[in-house]
Structure 1
Amino acid sequence: MDSKHSHTAVSGAGLLIALGIIYGDIGTSPLYVMKAIVPGLIDPRLVYGGISCVLWTLTLQTTVKYVLLTLNADNNGEGGIFSLFALVRRRGAWLSAVAIIGGAALLADGVITPPISVSSAIEGLQAVYPSIPTVPIVIAILLGLFFMQSFGTQIVGKAFGPMMLVWFSMLAILGIKGVAMHPEILRAINPVYAYELLVQYPGGFWLLGAVFLCTTGAEALYSDLGHCGKGNIRVSWIFVKTCLLLNYFGQGGWLIAHQGEQLDGRNPFYELMPPWFLLIGVGIATIAAIIASQALITGSFTLVAEAIRLNMWPKVKLNYPTDVKGQLFVPSMNRLLLLGCVGVVLYFQKSENMEAAYGLAITLTMMMTTILLTMWLRAKRVATPLVYGFAIIYGIIESSFLVANLIKFPHGGWVSLAIGVALIGVMYVWLKAFYIKRRLTEFVRLEPYVDALKQLSDDESIPKYATHLVFLTSAERNSEIEQKIIYSIFQKRPKRADIYWFIHVETTDEPYTMEYKVTEVAKDDVFRINFRLGFRVQQRINLYFRKVIEDLVRNKEVDITSRYESLSKQHVTGDFRFVVLQKFLSVENDFPTLEKLVMQAYFYIRQFIASEDQYFGLDTSSVKVEKVPLVIAPVREVALKRII
C-alpha cells in the first residue's frame, strides 16, 4: 500500500523534480514546431490550422494516451517501453519484436534530439549577430554535455527543476504577449480549423509531420515515470501544457499580425521577444535545451541497461557515478551518442534541416507502445470494446503521423531510420543468439557428480586450485549444471577446491527485486546461490556474493577459514576464485544459414565489448576466464579414407 501511495503521491519537491527531468524534450518543442509548420509565406489558414492541430495532438496524444492511460501501466513504479514489455511478454514471443523496434527507434531519437534542441536555441543568436557561426558553438556544448555524464548529474540535477520553471514561465509570458497582438487566434481551439488544414488545404495532410514534433517528448515522459511518480507528473503536466499552449497561441498571434509576409528564416519564437531581452532569452533557451538533452541521454542509458537485462543488448560496462536511485552511466553508449550527435550537426548544419530527420523514428516507438499497451489492457481484463476502441483510434492517429512523416525520408528522415535499423539489427542478433545458446547449452544432473566433487576436494595428490571456487551457471534448476562446468572442473584441468560455489542470476520482471536463496548441495563442500535481481538492479555479483557469505558465516552455516593447517590456526580466510566460461564459435559447425549468420554477427560484436566478469562486477584479480567451444550440431560424417 505504501509503495502504491508513493507512486501517486504529490509533493512540492516532486513537482519541481518532474519539471526538471520529465519535460525537457516536450518543453523545448516551441523552439522549432511553428517554424516547421509555417516555413515560408504566412497564410492564416496554415497558422490557425497548425495551432489547432498542435492543441489537439497535445490533448489526444500526450494528455489522454500518455498522461492519463499509459502512466497506469507502471511496473512497480517504473515506466518505459521495456518496463511495459516486461509486464506483457508472457502473452506472446512476437512481442519481443515490438519491444525491439520501439526501443531501437527511441534510442535513434536520442541521436537527433540533442542537436535539434541545442541548434534551435543557439540559432537565436543570429537575430542579434547575423553572421555568427552556430555549428562550432553547438558542437562545443554537446562535447561538454557528454563529458559531464561520467561524473553523474546529481548536483546539476538539483538546478534542473528551478531552471525549467523559469523556462516554462518565460514561455507563458511571451505567449500572453503574442495572444494580445491578435486575440482572435484563440479561435484555433475549435478542431474544425485542424480538419480544414488536413483535408482542404493543399498538401495540408503532410504538415502532420511538422505538427508531430510537438509531442515527441511524450515517450520520454513515460520512460522517466520512476523518477517522479505518476501523481507528480499528472499535476505538473497541467502547468506545463498551459505554458506550452500559451506560447504556441502567442506565436500564432505574432504570425497572424504579420500575415502575407515571408518568414525568411525568422523564428516566431524569438520574434516574440523584445530586442533588449533577446540575449537573455537565448541563454535561457540554451539551458533548457541542454536540460532536455541531458534527460534524453540519461534516459538512453536506462533504456540500454534494461535491454541488457532482457538479453536484447550486449553486456556492456555500466557505471554508477552517484548513489541516486536509477542513475547510471554507460561509457560505450555515451561515446556512440556523442559521435551520432556531432555527425548529425555536421551533416545537417541547421535545425530546420534536422526537422526532416526528427519525428519519423519516434512515431514507430509510439506505435509499438500502443501495441504493448493494448496487450496490457487485455491482460487487465478491460472491456473488449474499450480495448479495441483504444487500439483503432490510436492506430489511425499514429498511422497518419507515420505516413505524413514518411515524406521526410528523402530529406533526412533516412538518417534516424538508418540508425534505428542498425540498433534493431544489434538487438535482434543478441536476443536470437541468446536463445540459440540456451537451446544448445547442454545441462546435466548435478547429483551424480557430487561424490566426485567431494573426492576431488579431498585428493591431496592434486594441487589446490583455490579454497573457494566459484562458477556462474545459467542452469535454472538447482538439480542441474552445464556440462561445460563439469568439463572445466574435471577434465580441462582438474580444479581442486575446499568448497565449490555455483551462482545463478535470474532477472525478474519487477524493476528493483533483490533476493537470494542458498542451497547446500553437499555439506561443507558444494553450495548453490540463486540471486533474483530486478531488471533495473546493477549486477554487482562480487558485492552481493560477499554479503551472502557474511550472512552464512554469521549463521554458522559455512566455515570459510582456510583449510591449510598453518593458515587455519591463524584463522585466515580462504581465497575465492571465480571461473567465467567464455564461449567461442568452433570451426566444427554445421547449422542453418540464418543461425550461422546470427552467431557470426554475435561473436563479431562481442569483440568490441567488455567481458562478462566486468559486467557482473567481479573482482578481476580473482577471475579466471576460460574459453570453451560453442559446438553447434557438429558434423557427424567425414569422408576420410585411410590408405596404406
Structure 2
Amino acid sequence: MQTSPPSTLPAVDESGGHQALKAGASAAGTLIALGIVYGDIGTSPLYTVRGVFEGRPVTEDVVLGTVSAIIWTLTLLTTIKYVLIAMRADNNGEGGILSLYALLQRLNFKYLYLPAIVGAAALLADGVITPPISVSSAIEGLRILRPHLHTVPIVLAILMGLFAIQQFGTAIIGKLFGPVMLVFFSMIAVLGVQFMLHDLSILRAFNPYYALHMLATIPGGFWLLGSIFLCSTGAEALYADMGHVGRPNIYVSWTFVKICLVLNYLGQGAWLLQHMGKPLGDNNPFFAMIPAWGLLPAIGLCTLATIIASQALISGSYTLIIEALRLNFWPKVKVLYPTELRGQAYVPSLNWLLCAGCVGVVLHFRESSNMEAAYGLAITFTMLMTTVLLAFFLYLRRVSPVWIGLLLLVYFTVEGSFLIANLRKFPEGGYVSVLMSLVLLAVMVSWIQGQRLREAFVKYVPLADWLPLLKELSRDESVPKFATHLVYLTDSVDPSQIERGITHSIFQKSPKRADVYYLIHIVTTDEPYTKTYHVDTILPDDLVRIEFHLGFRVDHAINYMFRQVVTDLVQSKEVDITSRYNSLRDQDVVGDFQFVILNRTLPYAQSLTSWQRLVARLAGVLRWLGASQQESFGLDNSSLTIENIPLLIPERPELHLTRE
C-alpha cells in the first residue's frame, strides 16, 4: 500500500551543523574564518592611508596622528564593540543587525524595527561600493609598472565574472579563501615589519595622544576621520559572519588579523616618515613598500584578496536579504541553493542588482580614490544603529543603566564623529551611497507598512461557527468534488480563528468540496534554524491544522515540508490519504492534493487615506516585482489554485442611500 504522497524526500538533520558553529576554536575553523570574515577589513590598508594624504603634504604630526587614530579605531570599534560586546549578543550563534533585532523582538517596542532596517539598508548600500573600491585599489597597483594603464575594463571584467559565477555556487573557490587570506595577511605583516624596523619612532603611534593632538590642533585634522574610518568598514561584516564560523574561531583569528593590520599600518607610517614634506601624488604607501621584484606577485595576491572580500560581501548581502524575508522586511524574492554547502544561497534579483550597482559605481567614479568619497558614509549609519540595538540588548539582559549609558556615550561620540567627518564627503560622492541607502530603506518601509495595512483590513471569524457547515459540505455529493485534499495557507495566529477570506473561498465564491481540509500556518521564530511543527486535528477525517515553526534562516519550502508532515500523519494513522473514489481506493492510489493561495486585493482605494493609498500602491508594485507566493513556498503549478479575494472594505457612512 502506498502510504505517502509522491515525491516525498528524506528529512535532513542540520542540528549537528549548527552545534558545530558553537564549538570551540580549531585550526580549520580559524583558517575558514580568515577567508570568510576578514576580506573587507583586511584589504583596507590598500586605500585607507593613501586617502588621508590625498592632496595633503606629509608631516610628522599627521603621520603619527593617522596611524594612532587607525590603531585606536580598530581597538574601540572592532575589538571592543564588535568582538567583545556585539558577538555576545548572538541569536543562537547567529550575528548581524537583523539577527540582533530578531533577538530583541520580545521587547515589543513599537519602533524597534526602524534602527534595524536603517542599518540593513545602509549595509546593503555598502555592498555596492566595497567590491569596486577594493578591486580597483588592487588593479591600480599595476600602474607602478605601466603608468598609463586603463584599469576600468579590467575591474569591470573581474566584477562581472564574479557576479556571473554566483549562480553556480562558490563551494570550490571557497576552499581557497582561507589559505589565500593567510598568505595575504602574512605578506602585509612582513611588509610592515620591514619598514617599521627602519624607523622605530613610529611606535609612538600607540599613544592615543597623537590621534587627539591631530584632531584638535592640525587645521582640517578632524575631517581626516572620513578617510581613517575606512580602516574599520569590515567590522559590521565580522559580526554578521559570526554564524558561519563561530565566535571562538573569530576570537582567535581576529587576534592574528589585527596584529597583521597594525604592523602594516605602522610600516606605512614609517615609510611616510621617510617621505615628508610633499604630497604623495600617485604614490600609494602600500604598494610603495613592496620591492620591485615582488610587485607583480603582490598585486596578484592583493587582487585575489579583494575578490575574496567582494565575494564575502556578496554572500553576506544574500544572507541579509534572506533574514529580511523571514522577518517580512523585504518583498518576496526567489532564493536558490546552488550547492549542498550549509548556509550558501543565491538570490538572483539581488545578485544582478548588486552587479548593476557595482558597474555603475566603477563607470561613474573610475578611480578608487574617487570612490573613497562614496565609501564609509553609509556604513556609519549601520554602526550607529547597531549601537542603539546593543543598548536594548543590554537592557534585555538587565545590565545597569550606568553601563548602558556609558556605551551610548562612548560610541555615539566616536561613531558620531566619524559620521560628521564622512558627511563632508556627501557632495563629492557620498550622495551615491546615501541615495542607495534611502532607496533600499524606502523599499523596506513600503513593504512593512503595506503588509500592516493589509493585515489591518483582514477580518477573522470564529472557526467553530463554520465547522458544522464544513462537515456537511465534505459529504454533500451534490457539489462537485474540488479535490481529495484541499490546503489553505492561513495567517491566523489563533487556531480558533480563521480569515473571512478562506470561508468565502470555501463556501461562497465557488463551493469547494474536499474529503480533507488542511490549514497551514507558518511561525517565523527568533532562532535561526528552528524546524518543528505542531498538528491539531480539529475535525477527525475532515479538518487538520498544521503549524510550522521555522527559523528566520530556514527556507520556507512548504510543499516539501507539508509532504513530510503528511507522511508522519499517515504513519501514525491520523490521516488517510488514499483516494476516496472507489475504483482508485481499491488499488490504494493516493488522492490528489490541491493548494489554494488567496490573493487579497484592496478594492475601492479611494476609501483609504492618501498615505494608505500611497503605501498600498508601492507595496503592490513591490509584490508584482517580487516572487509570487507560489515561488516563495515552492508550490507546484499542477496542484495550485490562485484566487482573488477582496479584503474587508471600510464602512463609508457618507454613501448610505435612502430609498425613494
Fold agreement, TM-score > 0.5: yes
The letter for the 1-side match of 2:154 is: I
**Alignment pair present for 1:9 and 2:14:** no
Note the residue ranges of structure 1 that are not aligned, 5 or more in a row. Answer: none
Question: Over aligned residue pairs, what C-alpha RMSD do you find?
Answer: 1.5
Counterpart of 1:117 (choices 126, 134, 142) is 134
The letter for the 2-side match of 1:14 is: G
Counterparts of 1:165-180 in structure 2, within 5 Å, are 165-180=182-197
Specify whether residues 429 and 511 from structure 1 end up closer, same or farther in structure 2 by C-alpha distance, changes over 3 A only: same
Specify whether residues 4 and 143 from structure 1 end up closer, same or farther in structure 2 by C-alpha distance, changes over 3 A only: closer
Counterpart of 1:238 (choices 244, 255, 271) is 255
Q: Residues of 2 paired with 1:588 and 1:415: CA distance? A: 35
Note the residue ranges of structure 2 that are not aligned, 5 or more in a row. Answer: 1-14
Quote how far apart the aligned CAs of 1:431 are. Answer: 1.1
Quote how far apart the aligned CAs of 1:604 are. Answer: 1.6
The answer to which of 88-97 and 630-639 deviates more is 630-639
**Alignment pair present for 1:62 and 2:78:** yes
**Alignment pair present for 1:487 and 2:511:** no
Counterpart of 1:438 (choices 444, 455, 471) is 455
Specify whether residues 624 and 516 from structure 1 end up closer, same or farther in structure 2 by C-alpha distance, changes over 3 A only: same
Q: Residues of 1 paired with 2:170 and 2:336: CA distance? A: 13
Counterpart of 2:557 (choices 520, 533, 540) is 540
Counterpart of 2:274 (choices 229, 242, 257) is 257
Secondary structure of the 1:263 match is coil
Percent identity, aligned pairs only, is 54
Q: Residues of 2 paired with 1:599 and 1:395: CA distance? A: 36
Specify whether residues 471 and 4 from structure 1 end up closer, same or farther in structure 2 by C-alpha distance, changes over 3 A only: closer
Contact 2:268/2:285, CA 8 A, preserved across alignment: yes
Tell me the residue number matched to 1:46: 62
Quote how far apart the aligned CAs of 1:641 are. Answer: 8.4
Secondary structure of the 1:181 match is coil
The answer to which of 556-565 and 594-603 deviates more is 594-603
Deviation readout 1:489-534 (Å, 9 max, x if unpaired): 1111111111111100010111111110111111101111000001
**Alignment pair present for 1:401 and 2:423:** no
Contact 1:588/1:634, CA 8 A, preserved across alignment: no
The answer to which of 26-35 and 604-613 deviates more is 604-613
Deviation readout 1:229-257 (Å, 9 max, x if unpaired): 11110111010000001111111111111
**Alignment pair present for 1:22 and 2:22:** no
Counterparts of 1:457-606 in structure 2, within 5 Å, are 457-587=474-604, 589-606=606-623
Q: Residues of 1 paired with 2:554 and 2:19: CA distance? A: 20
Q: Residues of 2 paired with 1:533 and 1:579: CA distance? A: 21
Contact 2:459/2:648, CA 8 A, preserved across alignment: no
The letter for the 1-side match of 2:30 is: L
Contact 1:588/1:635, CA 8 A, preserved across alignment: no
Quote how far apart the aligned CAs of 1:311 are. Answer: 1.2
Contact 1:515/1:531, CA 8 A, preserved across alignment: yes
Deviation readout 1:269-302 (Å, 9 max, x if unpaired): 1101111111111110010000000001110111
Secondary structure of the 2:483 match is strand
The letter for the 2-side match of 1:560 is: I
Secondary structure of the 1:203 match is coil
The letter for the 1-side match of 2:487 is: V
The answer to which of 355-364 and 451-460 deviates more is 451-460
Tell me the residue number matched to 1:74: 90
Q: Residues of 2 paired with 1:189 and 1:367: CA distance? A: 26
Q: Residues of 2 paired with 1:467 and 1:639: CA distance? A: 44
Counterpart of 2:626 (choices 609, 622, 633) is 609
Q: Residues of 2 paired with 1:642 and 1:370: CA distance? A: 63
Contact 1:101/1:368, CA 8 A, preserved across alignment: yes
The letter for the 1-side match of 2:214 is: L
Q: Residues of 1 paired with 2:498 and 2:342: CA distance? A: 35
**Alignment pair present for 1:83 and 2:118:** no
Quote how far apart the aligned CAs of 1:107 are. Answer: 0.5
Q: Residues of 2 paired with 1:455 and 1:267: CA distance? A: 81
Q: Residues of 2 paired with 1:20 and 1:629: CA distance? A: 51
Q: Which runs of 4+ in 1 moved over 4 A?
A: 1-6, 639-643
Secondary structure of the 1:637 match is helix
The letter for the 1-side match of 2:242 is: L
Contact 1:445/1:481, CA 8 A, preserved across alignment: yes
The letter for the 2-side match of 1:310 is: L
Structure with the bigger RCO (C-alpha within 8 Å, sep 6+) is 2
Counterparts of 1:207-226 in structure 2, within 5 Å, are 207-226=224-243
The letter for the 1-side match of 2:500 is: Q
Contact 2:53/2:279, CA 8 A, preserved across alignment: no
